[in-house]
């Protein structure tokens, strides 16, 4: 009975809160009060039945896994064609009045500003057939490596597949500008996670689509180099999802790509950057994308959907390294044999920190989801699951 005396009120409340969140995420039809009542029932049952803290934790984890399995039916994505948003919905999203004119790019009129990127501006426009398009305006000669819009277009055409954003057309504009046209997709995965708009089943479906896209491009020898939730697009939380933004992608022998052992290391976005590039390794391969995919998995399945690693307020490499080491433990040559070939390894001395348990890193998530993230987030790139093996992981199994 001693273990119950050591289990504080805060510990039990945390378990109930975690279970409540899981029940809500498992089904979009579950109201908060209903989810909380079920969470309290399961936690009390675990508390009463367990003979130790370990068994209590196991029973709570079992409740989480059961909730996931109960709602594991896949989202119906039989049609893998991009569904364009209707003109009426586009007008609502654009927030424009009927009197607004917008800009014109080629055949695309009434183009309304949607988003500013580092080297491009995205507009929303309606084509003559009524389909809503995303028109990406770039100035190629002002781009700095590894950004290359011509290479982006080449690789997009080569990578055409059900889960890669289709390039509708490309055309030149005055002033040396280049326009790339895509279907306009209302959501990105980051928005859905931040707004808590996806269930466990929808999350699983979106992640499956991401890995299917990665499996396809990796077979072609393409490294995306910027995997993150905001580059996964869809017209509905039900999917299908499409991998987008190939602006810094790489393929050997492509005219715009670096030599295979001299790749640019300033790739990826802040907290999704793999440890090998943080230490200057230029001969990285497709496993670079799989580390980032592991970060996406962790973010997608965790309560609150926060980023797993923290690069600090200004996106510092040292802050990110500290965050990774504090979470996964400070590696050595036994854990990470490749440190011997990392150009910047040893330039800074780090405190030796033990790895956290994955149960502490990703608490209150399904066992299968936690294991998928664990198998992707390995220091040694050769130990990371490939995209095709990730797709065969039990997390994507249905009941």
Provide the pLDDT for residue 77: 52
pLDDT, average across residues 315-340: 95
pLDDT at 65: 85
User: How much is the pLDDT for 398?
Assistant: 56
Is 34 or 387 the better-scoring residue by pLDDT?
A: 387
Q: What is the pLDDT of residue 394?
A: 95
pLDDT at 88 over 70: no
Residue 128: predicted pLDDT: 76
Residue 230 clears pLDDT 90, i.e. is over it = yes
**Greatest mean pLDDT range, 12-21, 43-52, 316-325:** 316-325
Note the pLDDT of residue 271: 96
In the predicted model, is pLDDT for residue 139 greater than 70?
Answer: yes
**Per mean pLDDT, which of 26-35, 190-199, 319-328 is the most reliable?**
319-328
Q: What is the pLDDT of residue 87?
A: 39
More confident residue, 104 or 98: 104
pLDDT digits (tens, 9 = 90+) for 363-373: 989 999 999 99
Residue 119 has a pLDDT of 84
pLDDT at residue 377, as a whole number: 98
Mean pLDDT, rounded, for 137-152: 92
- Helix (H), strand (E), coil (C) string for the chain: CHHHHHCCHHHHHHHHHHHHHHHHHHCCCCCHHHHHHHHHHHHHHHHHHCCCHHHHHHHHHHHHHHHHHHCCCCCCCCCCCCCCCCHHHHHHHHCCCCCCCCEEECCEEEEEEEEECCCEEEEEEECCCCCEEEEEEECHHHCCCCCCHHHHHHHHHHCCCCCECCCCEEEEEHHHEEEEEEECCCEEHHHHHHCCCCCHHHHHHHHHHHHHHHHHHHHCCEECCCCCHHHEEECCCCCCCEECCCCCCEECCCCCCCCCCCCCCCCCCHHHCCHHHHCCCCCCCCHHHHHHHHHHHHHHHCCCCCCCCCCCCCCCHHHHHHHHHHHHCCCCCCCCHHHHHCCCCCCCCCCCCCCCCHHHHCCCCCHHHHHHHHHHCCCCHHHCCCHHHHHCCHHHCCC
Q: Which of 188, 209, 226, 289 is catalytic?
A: 226
What local confidence, expressed as pLDDT, does residue 73 receive? 54
Give the confidence band of 303 by pLDDT, cuts at 50, 70, 90: confident
Highest mean predicted confidence (pLDDT) among 14-23, 108-117, 149-158: 149-158
Of 225-239, 302-316, 382-396, the one with minimum mean pLDDT is 302-316
What integer pLDDT is reported at residue 27 of this predicted model?
64
Q: Does residue 110 have a pLDDT over 70?
A: yes
pLDDT, mean of residues 44-59: 90
- pLDDT for residue 111 is more than 60: yes
Q: Confirm whether 226 is a catalytic residue.
A: yes
Give the pLDDT of residue 72. Answer: 59
What pLDDT shows up at residue 380? Answer: 98
- Across 30-39, 94-103, 189-198, the highest mean pLDDT is recorded for 189-198
pLDDT at 43 over 90: no
Please report which confidence band the pLDDT of residue 35 belongs to, taking 50, 70 and 90 as the band edges: confident
Give the mean pLDDT of the chain. 88
- Could you give the domains of the chain? 2-70 (1.10.246), 87-183 (3.30.200.20), 187-396 (1.10.510.10)
pLDDT at 360: 94
């Amino acid at each position: 009975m001693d273990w119950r005396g050591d289990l504080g009120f805060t510990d039990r409340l945390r378990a109930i809160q975690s279970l409540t969140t899981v029940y809500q995420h498992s089904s979009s039809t579950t109201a908060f009060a209903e989810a909380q009542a079920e969470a309290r029932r399961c936690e009390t049952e675990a508390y009463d039945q367990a003979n130790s803290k370990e068994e209590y934790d196991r029973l709570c984890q079992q409740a989480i896994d059961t909730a996931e399995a109960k709602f594991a039916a896949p989202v119906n994505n039989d049609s893998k064609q991009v569904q364009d948003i209707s003109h009426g919905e586009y007008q609502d999203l654009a927030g424009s009045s009927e009197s607004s004119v917008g800009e014109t790019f080629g055949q695309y009129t009434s183009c309304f500003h949607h988003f500013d990127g580092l080297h491009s501006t995205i507009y929303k426009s309606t084509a003559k057939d009524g389909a809503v398009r995303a028109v990406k305006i770039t100035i190629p000669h002002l781009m700095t490596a590894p950004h290359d819009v011509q290479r982006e277009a080449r690789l997009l055409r080569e990578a055409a597949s059900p889960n890669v954003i289709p390039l509708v057309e490309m055309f030149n504009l005055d002033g040396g500008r280049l326009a790339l046209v895509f279907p306009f997709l209302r959501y990105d995965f980051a928005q859905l996670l931040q707004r808590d708009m996806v269930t466990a089943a929808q999350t699983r479906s979106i992640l499956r689509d991401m890995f299917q896209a990665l499996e396809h491009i990796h077979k072609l020898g393409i490294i995306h180099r910027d995997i993150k939730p905001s580059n996964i697009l869809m017209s509905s939380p039900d999917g299908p999802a499409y991998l987008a933004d190939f602006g810094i992608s790489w393929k050997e022998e492509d005219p715009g790509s670096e030599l295979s052992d001299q790749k640019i290391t300033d790739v990826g976005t802040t907290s999704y950057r793999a440890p090998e590039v943080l230490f200057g390794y230029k001969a990285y391969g497709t496993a670079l994308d799989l580390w980032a995919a592991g970060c996406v998995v962790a973010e997608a399945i965790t309560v609150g959907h926060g980023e797993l690693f923290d690069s600090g307020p200004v996106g510092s490499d040292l802050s990110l390294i500290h965050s990774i080491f504090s979470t996964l433990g400070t590696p050595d040559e036994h854990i990470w044999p490749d440190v011997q070939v990392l150009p910047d390894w040893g330039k800074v001395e780090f405190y030796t920190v033990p790895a956290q348990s994955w149960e502490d890193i990703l608490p209150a998530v399904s066992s299968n989801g936690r294991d998928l993230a664990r198998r992707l987030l390995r220091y040694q790139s050769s130990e990371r699951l490939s995209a095709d093996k990730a797709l065969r992981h039990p997390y994507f199994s249905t009941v």
